[in-house]
């Protein structure tokens, strides 16, 4: 298991988890479109200073996938989440966000052909049980809010599977595209339909977006490239725990027995990701791509000029064809097919 990928996804989870209670306070002062737009524009502002020149890529191959990720992950999902925050408490929404893991795992198997194994299936099943204790109880008003949050999770799940494979683009470029395009469109719709919110609320929303979305999305993409979308999302599933705890301790929301039980079940499910790699004889086809890497594994033995740093770094490099066995997860170098479970 790539520990660096686990750490990056875990830090992303903490940042995003902290943003949910903060966003819940903003939801009362502005429309769902305005809040979603400001959060993602804040993300764009956060990564802009770190965005270098865009390298040459196939516009047709990258454009359609990036456009889909921007539409679903940056456009539709945050609007659904912001709308759900109007009807459901911040703690409950935070825990319901675990459904993103479930949808990501299902799409990873059905659409993107990732290998999960029994540990990932067990962990995902526990998260399903945890979310079910929250989503199918309470008033009809609360259930509608939970359904909106579930819709956001489905959109983000599709986004996860796509962006984890977009190795032609750096994570900051993907985050910038989501922030500028999706954030700009949603904010325009929100201002036209609901007017301009107070300046203080705008600045706070941009700050929450910069930390909870900009830094978080960038770290998650980098981590998911090392782990695969399903495993990266299972680590990221710690985010709802952070949000729930903050809602209870900082915002003073009442803690219910159902929420505590849900948190414990989901925490047990997340623990299954740490030892979910597998080993078998597999083939690597020649490939050229650009991503962050080190030279302490079996796949990055290319030479560098004398004196060039070989710590974690980014540049375009080539991989030759090779057949070998070793423990691995569905990272950028192990997208091979497996028999269906």
Q: Which of 139-143, 212-216, 226-230, 336-340 has the lowest mean pLDDT?
A: 336-340
pLDDT range class, residue 328, cuts 50, 70, 90? very low
Residue 341 has pLDDT above 50, yes or no: no
Contacts of 295 (CB under 8 A, 6+ apart): 301, 310
Higher pLDDT, 257 or 296: 257
Residue 261 has pLDDT above 90, yes or no: no
pLDDT range class, residue 277, cuts 50, 70, 90? low
Give the model's pLDDT for residue 264: 82
Give the model's pLDDT for residue 202: 93
Higher pLDDT, 181 or 160: 181
- Secondary structure, 3-state, the chain: CCHHHHHHHHHHHHHHHHHHHHHHHHCCCCCHHHHHHHHHHHHHHHHHHHCCCCCCCCHHHHHHHHHHHHHHHHHHHHHHHHHHCCCCCHHHHHHHCCHHHHHHHHHHHHCCCCCCHHHHHHHHHHHHHHHHHHHCCCCHHHHHHHHHHHHHHHHHHHHHHHHCCCCCCCHHHHHHHHHHHHHHHHHHHHHHHHCCCCHHHHHHHHHHHHHHHHHHHHHHHHHHHHHCHHHHHHHHCCHHHHHHHHHHHCCCCCCCHHHHHHHHHHHHHHHHHHHCCEEEEEEECCEEEEEEECCCCCCCCCCCCCCCCCCCEEEEEEECCEEEEEEECCCCCCCCCCCCC
Any idea how long the chain is?
A: 341
> Percent of the chain, pLDDT > 90?
16
Higher pLDDT, 12 or 229: 12
The backbone torsions φ and ψ at residue 301, rounded to the nearest 5 degrees and listed phi first, read -110, 20
The residue to which tokens 């490099």 are assigned: 317
The residue to which tokens 């990272």 are assigned: 331
Query: Which residue, 47, 26, 46, 45, is CA-closest to 36?
Result: 26
Give the model's pLDDT for residue 304: 67
Mean of the per-residue pLDDT values of the chain: 76
Residue ranges covered by each domain of the chain? 3-278, 279-328
Give the model's pLDDT for residue 189: 93
pLDDT range class, residue 188, cuts 50, 70, 90? very high
Give the model's pLDDT for residue 323: 67
Query: Which residue, 58, 16, 24, is CA-closest to 215?
Result: 16
Distance of CA 44 to the CA centre of its chain: 16
Give the model's pLDDT for residue 164: 76
> Per-residue pLDDT tens for 50-63?
887 766 565 666 77
> Per-residue pLDDT tens for 132-178?
665 555 555 557 888 898 899 999 989 988 887 777 778 888 889 99
Query: Which residue, 82, 5, 23, 13, is CA-closest to 207?
Result: 23
Give the model's pLDDT for residue 207: 94
Give the model's pLDDT for residue 72: 92
> Per-residue pLDDT tens for 293-305?
666 666 666 676 5
Give the model's pLDDT for residue 155: 93
Q: 20 near 96, Cβ under 8 Å?
A: no
Total Cβ atoms within 10 A of residue 54: 11
């Amino acid at each position: 298991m790539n520990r660096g990928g686990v750490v990056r996804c875990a830090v992303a989870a903490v940042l995003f988890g902290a943003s949910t209670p903060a966003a819940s306070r903003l939801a009362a002062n502005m429309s769902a479109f305005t809040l979603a737009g400001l959060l993602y524009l804040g993300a764009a502002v956060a990564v802009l200073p770190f965005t270098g020149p865009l390298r040459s890529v196939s516009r047709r191959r990258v454009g359609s996938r990036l456009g889909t990720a921007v539409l679903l992950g940056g456009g539709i999902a945050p609007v659904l989440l912001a709308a759900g925050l109007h009807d459901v408490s911040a703690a409950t929404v935070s825990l319901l966000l675990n459904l993103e893991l479930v949808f990501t795992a299902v799409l990873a198997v059905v659409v993107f052909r990732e290998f999960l194994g029994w540990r990932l299936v067990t962990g995902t099943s526990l998260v399903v049980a945890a979310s079910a204790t929250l989503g199918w109880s309470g008033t009809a008003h609360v259930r509608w809010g939970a359904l909106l949050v579930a819709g956001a999770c489905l959109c983000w799940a599709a986004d996860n599977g796509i962006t984890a494979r977009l190795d032609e683009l750096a994570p900051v470029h993907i985050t910038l595209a989501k922030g500028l395009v999706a954030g700009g469109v949603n904010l325009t719709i929100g201002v036209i339909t609901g007017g301009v919110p107070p300046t203080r609320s705008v600045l706070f929303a941009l700050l929450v977006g910069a930390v909870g979305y900009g830094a978080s999305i960038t770290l998650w993409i980098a981590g998911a490239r090392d782990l695969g979308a399903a495993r990266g999302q299972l680590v990221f599933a710690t985010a709802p725990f952070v949000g729930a705890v903050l809602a209870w301790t900082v915002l003073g929301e009442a803690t219910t027995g159902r929420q505590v039980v849900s948190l414990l079940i989901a925490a047990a499910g997340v623990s299954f990701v740490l030892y979910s790699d597998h080993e078998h004889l597999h083939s690597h086809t020649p490939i050229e791509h650009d991503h962050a890497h080190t030279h302490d594994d079996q796949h990055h033995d290319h030479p560098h000029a004398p004196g060039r740093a070989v710590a974690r770094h980014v540049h375009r490099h080539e991989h030759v064809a090779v057949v070998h066995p070793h423990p691995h997860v569905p990272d950028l170098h192990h997208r091979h097919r497996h028999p269906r479970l």
